[in-house]
Amino acid sequence: MSKSPIAFLGLGIMGSGMARRLLGAGFPVTVYNRNCDKAAPLAAAGARIAASPREAAAGAKVVIAMVADDAASRGLWLGEQGALAGAARGTVLVESSTLTVGWVKELAAAAAAGGFEFLDAPVTGSKMQAAAGELNFLVGGEAATLEKIRPVLVPMSRSIVHLGPTGSGALIKLINNFVCGVQVASLAEALAMIEQGGLDRTKALEILTQGAPGSPLFKTISTRMTTPDFTPNFLLRLMAKDLGYAVKEGAGLAVPLTTAAAALEVFKKAIAAGQGDQDMSAVVEQFRHR
């Protein structure tokens, strides 16, 4: 697997950085993106551009997908032009998107029926980490399959953690993202209280960022909110999607995610205000413009 042909499907904020890391490590990479304009910079870096997921998967030893949601993932993998139709038996399929556990298990079953190996391997980190090869892979599936493709994941990663059977990576990713979404929503409200309460914003935020609430995310997002800089690192609408998926997953496990549901409403209001394609830190603006 050290220099096996790779197909990479999805060249958004995350996928483009990940594919570029594979090219930099010397892998032959074929890329596919629904909007072909996003593939042009990868072609300039040495990637081959495919016209469909099926074409991209043909001849690949590993196929990696990184797209927005269940619907986009389903469209890449299944159907006449899907990657499953083009890949050879024995190919390792890696789904790195943030998806529902139900769809991941359905996809794994389809992969097994076609004679493929499958891993769900979503990541933590955003645009900067993808570009720098510092993502954390959260992997569900067979440990032996992970070891087989570890050399492919290493150039994109800071860590690779095997969580357990298929769906384990998908589940912990939804848990991770709902906790992040709740924290971002609460920071937006806290910052509004600081600003509208007449406090010295710099001093007040220093108390929070240097105190118990001061996670790495809290520090990064507070900087973006106060600059303000809403250049997309993690799209606001995708955090809303992740919160929605997490709420449904929690309900299926008899764990009502009341904090996630509340945060989801905050993000929905930001989307309604036209901020869905901005960075998730833009969720603060609804509290500033009342």
Q: What is the dihedral of CA 274, 73, 65, 280, to 10 degrees?
A: 20
* Residue in 1, 2, 8, 4 with CA at minimum distance from that of residue 94: 8
**Residue 169 contacts by C-beta under 8 Å, 6 or more apart in sequence?**
104, 119, 120, 121, 122, 137, 138, 139, 140, 141, 163
Whole-angstrom Cα distance, residue 289 to residue 179?
Answer: 26
Whole-angstrom Cα distance, residue 95 to residue 168?
Answer: 12
Whole-angstrom Cα distance, residue 14 to residue 174?
Answer: 17
3-state secondary structure of 248: helix
Q: Which two tokens stand for residue 155?
A: 């150039």
173 catalytic? Reply is yes
- 38, 105, 173, 248: the catalytic one is 173
Whole-angstrom Cα distance, residue 189 to residue 287?
Answer: 7
- Answer yes or no: are the C-beta atoms of 73 and 97 closer than 8 Å: yes
Q: Which two tokens stand for residue 28?
A: 């032959």
Q: Which residue has the tokens 């989801």?
A: 264
**Which residues are known to be catalytic?**
173
